[in-house]
Structure 1
Amino acid sequence: MKDSKGHQADRRKFLIGMGVAGAAVTLAGPALATTSCKSDVRWDQEHEVVIIGSGFAGLAAAIQAKRLGAKDVVIYDKMPVLGGNSAFNGGLFAVPNSPLQKKEGVTDSPEIMTKDQLKAGRGVADKELLKHVATRAKEALQMTLDAGSEYFPYLQQLGGHSVPRTYQTTVACGAGITQPLIKECRRLGVRLVTRAKFDSLIFDDKGKVAGAKIFEGYYFGRGKEGSAINVRSQRGVLIATGGFARNVGLRSAQDPTLTEEVGSTNLPHATGEALLELFDVGAVPVHMAYIQTGPWASPDEDGFGYVSNYSIYNFAHSISVYPKTGRRFMNEIADRKTRADAELTCRDDDGKPLPPVTITSYEHAKEHPTMKKVLKYGVGWKFDTLEELAAHFNIPLAPLKKQIDEYNGYVKAGVDKQFGKPMKKAKGKYLKAPFVTVRNWPKVHYCQGGAKIDLKARVIDSTTWKPIPGLYAAGEVAGGMHGVSRLGSCSIPDCMVMGMTAAETMMKG
């Protein structure tokens, strides 16, 4: 056997350079998973199921594998703490036909959710994968509930969703899911290893993934690789390492506008090395240029911050105005790409960014727990009068007053005549003083591109178009499911369902 580092040295350069013109295409290349005799590798450890990455996908896979009878499951994560980027996401979970929908009288189905996602995907999303995830989202939700996750007792309607279907954790972040799942993994006897960086895959003499090279004692950002060990897996390896939003070179090669000047909501370690390793061994790159920016992010704080969740909740009953005109310029709950593109047009006379201002009545803003932190940390502002608000942001007062009067008319009528925003969640929520405001500007949030997988979470080979034996992927590292734009709150069901699916496939193999 040998690991994939012995394969063509220029493979990475080709992959990093692909898509420079911004084309989002599915690329095929030669499979590179060459093999050699078993005596080439000395195994330091052996486990039944090996999982790389401790976010939603990896944790769900480990729990499902244990439920299906796996005796020895291990998760490796390169960081010093578990949960990955998942722990810092918004904790928003889209579920059709959920108990809360039944309670609130909302009509929904996996088919309706899939239709919403296909629309956002601009015709290139994977219908079968989306339908698979939507059909099992309620099952994934139940896994989190069984583990101890807690959610607010109401649903949110996020941008691009035709009905309210989104749960949110009571801590308003993904840790409300990852921490209970980590606890459940420990209860089930899953081995959890931190500071363990995945390096490469190891194949047996029949071309099947037999294990992985791991560096133990790894310290991210310190230039310390750690000590290499070869880990054998009886049932294959699941890659669940997330996206590459923080890899500026890779993302800007796909979309030249995403330079180092563009911020990201992701943690610094979202750099995509495992994804490049999948491509090294012949996985199909798909939709690599489809990289999503979050229209609810703030230019006034780093990373995901507090404004993101605040805005996601409040957009449904707020207005966003262009400071130069005092007028709305978009449907505040359109899909992410539509809103991000609209925000990017907000410029001053010199063409520099002029972030739009989102205005919410204090009466309704305070309903979400993040408002207190938004104000406390100075990334949002409270004003007692519209005059004070307009003066602070240099917004012309007369058109702003007119805009608010018009919008309140839409609230009363239940119809947005300007941009067609669904007004169900705005019912009775008029804009009136005092006001809370934030500024919004897109940040790189999610990479729709990655390695192509099938409905069983198996990684597809670029020459045979069949699964690479023993190799699985789930979550953001897998590409093609969401197309051009992913709807908010759909990453958690994607990660969890495909992690569960991978475990099921591995245990049947």
Structure 2
Amino acid sequence: MISEQVPPRTDVLVIGGGIAGHSAALAAAEGGAASVVLLEKTADFGGSSRQAVGGFAFAGTDLQREAGTSDSNEELRRDLLKSGEGNNDASLLELLLDRQLEAYAWLRQHGVEFAYSRPAAAGSGVHTHSNWGGQAVRALHKCVLSHPRICYVPGHAAERLVRGDEDRTSVVGVQLAASAGEPGLLHTGGGVVLATGGFSRSRQYMEAFAPQLLAAIPSGGSGNTGDGLRMATALGAGLADMGWVSGTFGAALPGYPDLTPREGEPPGLLFPIYSGAVAVNLHGKRFTDESASYKAIGKLCLEQPRGVAFQLFDSKTMALSRTAPAHNFRAALERGELRHSDTLADLATTLGVDAAELTRTIDRYNRDADAGVDSQFGRRITGKLDQAPFYAYPCGVAVTTTFCGLTIDTATRVLDVYGEPIAHLYAAGELVAGFHGSNYMSGSALTKSVVTGCIAGAHAAVASLTGATE
């Protein structure tokens, strides 16, 4: 049910209305908690997961088998370790692998719809199960609203975690922010689940932990200002992976050459580089292996003049446009995010790029395509860029997620700086560290959010029934 009033007490309190928070609230109610409050500080639900344009990473699903794809936990582990450069927390990685198929089945039971297409080439894309337009969190939100033991409360922010008067080691509730209009305490019997997202919208935390990304475009949920990080570290919570924060390549610059972000609009993402495009800078030169992850390319893009790049492609790539948001090139053209021309020279002029240099770059690329190998970056090239019209997508780097934060154990209990659990405090989703290592593989963030949300909610429900933290 919806409530505009915060009840004074609940068995389980979940803070944050993204996909991790919705998963935690449902798992707590389904796990036996008599009452669950899902608190969201903004006026609307969904957070970063509502903006997600990719999908979930799963291995061994029925959809993969139907598509003739062979996949397994071993292959998923390999790709996660490769993406994270081996810096993943071993126990949390195994937790994700052990629970990912269960999470897939649970989501489908709750109305989440997936599409799967066998990728043309090997790679981590084999795990991607598409879910577009925030459909997953919308489906879970319907379940939350219809559940008789869950009270969803939007527009109310948590400010501080509260310890017990007698047992100073246990979290017993939360102090609401005065801006919520109802300052006061919300007490819990089972515990608090923090699912407040990251800190991409916090200038303070970005300066502290990711100053190299201050020139990037802030994205992610509008409420991602590090609230959970602040509340938990005030109680001594440990942190991990803070140095790995990176940006995502491919963020739209629709006003180029004006780089000012459009107020209130998260930047769209587009990846023609994964369908045959090349990435060039303002000098008309390639600067990366375009088959690399959008995180790795993002780091290099920020080193280019003005932090700007152009994904350059021809009509053959345009013909590969599909309905998936990050690969819908025709929709981007209709939105005015692409520049196009019948000649590379004219396109270069439109972009403010040296035409002679851009022509040399593409000529070299096409010669490499004939030879079958990239002489600059060593990647495999399968096709030329030679069929007019030619298109360019001006883009930059956005901070869509911070994939670092609180240290947790395999029960999602928040650990303090000494590695000891903070009683009755759990965390899930983007807020938690350990799973991704130094980089996250596409699709793994949403999977992690559901896995950790379900675990956190279930454990908090048990604590509400037994009075003890599992």
TM-score category, normalised to shorter length: 0.7 to 0.9
| CA distance in 2: counterparts of 1:384 and 1:71, whole angstroms | 65
State which drifts further: 139-148 or 295-304.
295-304
| 2:257 aligned residue | none
Residue 248 of structure 1 contacts residue 258 of structure 1 at CA under 8 Å; is this kept in 2? no
**How much does 1:111 deviate?**
2.6
Aligned 8 A contact 1:53 1:77 in 2: yes
> Shift of the alpha carbon at 1:391?
3.6
Q: Which of residues 229, 232, 236 in structure 1 aligns to 2:191? A: 236
| Cα RMSD, aligned residues only | 2.8
Which residue number in structure 2 is paired with residue 364 of structure 1?
A: 320
1:297: Cα distance to partner? 1.5
Q: Which runs of 5+ in 1 are unaligned?
A: 1-42, 219-223
The residue number in structure 2 matching 1:177 is 136
Q: Which residue matches 2:296?
A: 338
In structure 1, distance between residues paired with 2:388 and 2:98: 43
Distance 2:32 2:380 in 1: 46
Residue 381 of structure 1 is matched in structure 2 by 339
Partner of 1:38: none
How far did 1:366 drift?
5.0
Structure 1 residues 366 and 47: CA distance shift in structure 2, 3 A: closer
Q: Which residue of 2 aligns with 1:437?
A: 392
What displacement does 1:108 show?
2.3
Structure 1 pair 130/304, CA: closer, same or farther in 2 (3 Å)?
farther
Q: Secondary structure at the match of 1:269?
A: coil
Answer whether contact 1:113 1:161 (CA < 8 A) is retained: no
Q: Distance in 1 between the 2:345 and 2:239 partners?
A: 52
Which residue in the other structure is 1:28 paired with? none
Structure 1: distance between partners of 2:289 and 2:311: 14
State how far apart, in whole Å, the 2-side matches of 1:479 and 1:122 are. 15
Instruction: Check if 1:212 corresponds to 2:180.
Output: no
Distance 1:306 1:196, change over 3 A: closer
Give the aligned residue type for 2:320.
H
CA distance in 2, matches of 1:320, 1:246: 30
Q: CA deviation at 1:185?
A: 1.4
Rounded to whole Å, the distance in 1 between the matches of 2:300 and 2:274 is 17
> Residue 212 of structure 2 aligns with which residue?
257
Tell me the TM-score normalized by structure 2: 0.85
Structure 1 residue aligned with 2:15: 52
> Relative to 1, partners in 2 of residues 1:66 and 1:417: Cα closer, same or farther, differing over 3 Å?
farther
Residue in 2 that maps onto 1:451: 406
Given that 1:88 and 1:304 are in contact with CA atoms closer than 8 Å, whether structure 2 keeps it comes out as: no
Aligned-partner residue type, residue 249 of structure 2: P
Q: Distance in 1 between matches of 2:340 and 2:107?
A: 36
CA distance 1:152–1:377, change in 2 (3 Å): same
1:157 to partner: Cα distance: 8.4
| Matched-pair contact (CA < 8 Å) for 2:10–2:36 | yes
Q: Post-superposition shift, 1:306? A: 6.2
The AA in structure 1 aligned to 2:31 is L
Taking only the aligned residue pairs, the percentage that are identical comes to: 26
Q: Select between 73-82 and 187-196 the one with higher mean Cα deviation.
A: 187-196
Given that residues 116 and 128 in structure 2 are in contact (C-alpha distance below 8 angstroms), is that contact kept between their aligned partners in structure 1? no
Partner of 1:148: 111
What is the aligned partner in structure 2 of residue 15 from structure 1? none
Aligned counterpart, 1:508 = 462
SS at match of 2:48: helix
C-alpha separation between the residues in 1 aligned to 2:38 and 2:239? 25
Q: What's the offset of the Cα at 1:289? A: 2.6
Matched, 1:195 2:150: no
Secondary structure of 1:365's aligned partner: coil
Q: In 2 relative to 1, CA 306–433 (structure 1 residues): closer, same or farther, beyond 3 Å?
A: farther
Structure 1 residue matching 2:193: 3-state secondary structure = strand
Equivalences for residues 412-431 of structure 1 within 5 A: 418-421=376-379
For the residue of structure 1 that corresponds to 2:172, the secondary structure is strand
CA distance in structure 2 between the aligned counterparts of 1:429 and 1:338, rounded to whole angstroms: 24
Q: Secondary structure at the match of 1:181?
A: helix
Q: CA deviation at 1:247?
A: 0.7
Instruction: Assess, with a 3 A threshold, how the Cα gap between structure 1 residues 188 and 431 changes in structure 2: closer, same or farther.
Output: farther
Equivalence for 1:123 = 86
Instruction: Please list the CA deviations of residues 399-428 of structure 1 after superposition, one character each: whole Å capped at 9, or x if unmatched.
Output: 244245246447xx6x666545577xx7x8
Identify the match of residue 274 of structure 1 among 228, 243, 250: 228
Kept in 2, the 8 Å contact 1:266–1:304? The answer is no
- Displacement after TM superposition at 1:385 (Å): 4.1
2:68 alignment partner in structure 1: 105
3-state SS of 1:356 partner: strand
Distance 2:369 2:64 in 1: 27
Q: Deviations over 1:329-375 (max 9, x none)?
A: 3222313442122223332xxxx444233425221135545434422
Deviation of 1:156 after TM superposition, in Å, equals 5.7
Q: Corresponding residue for 1:64?
A: 27
Counterpart of 1:287 in structure 2: which amino acid?
A: D
Taking the aligned partners of 1:489 and 1:406, their CA distance within structure 2 comes to 34
Aligned amino acid, residue 195 of structure 2: A
Q: Residue 24 of structure 1 aligns with which residue?
A: none
Q: TM-score, normalised by structure 1?
A: 0.79
Go from structure 1 to structure 2 and tell me whether the alpha carbon gap of 1:250 and 1:488 turns closer, same or farther (over 3 Å shift): same
Task: Give the number of aligned pairs.
Answer: 441
Check 1:113–1:282 CA distance in 2 against 1; reply closer, same or farther (3 A cut).
Answer: same
For residue 423 of structure 2, give the secondary structure of its aligned residue in structure 1: strand
CA, structure 1 residues 164+321, in 2 after alignment: closer, same or farther (shift >3 Å)?
A: same
Please give the secondary structure, in 1, of the residue aligned with 2:247. strand
Q: 1:306 to 1:78 in 2, by over 3 A?
A: closer
Structure 2: how far apart are the matches of 1:298 and 1:80? 26
336-345 or 71-80, which deviates more: 336-345
- Quote the offset at 1:285 in angstroms: 1.7
Within a 5 Å distance, the mapping from 1:9-48 to structure 2 comes to 45-48=8-11
CA–CA separation in structure 2 for the residues paired with 1:475 and 1:78? 16
2:417 counterpart residue number: 462
Q: Is residue 135 of structure 1 aligned with residue 59 of structure 2?
A: no
Structure 1 counterpart SS, 2:431:
coil
Mapped to 2, the partners of 1:407 and 1:440 lie a distance apart of 25
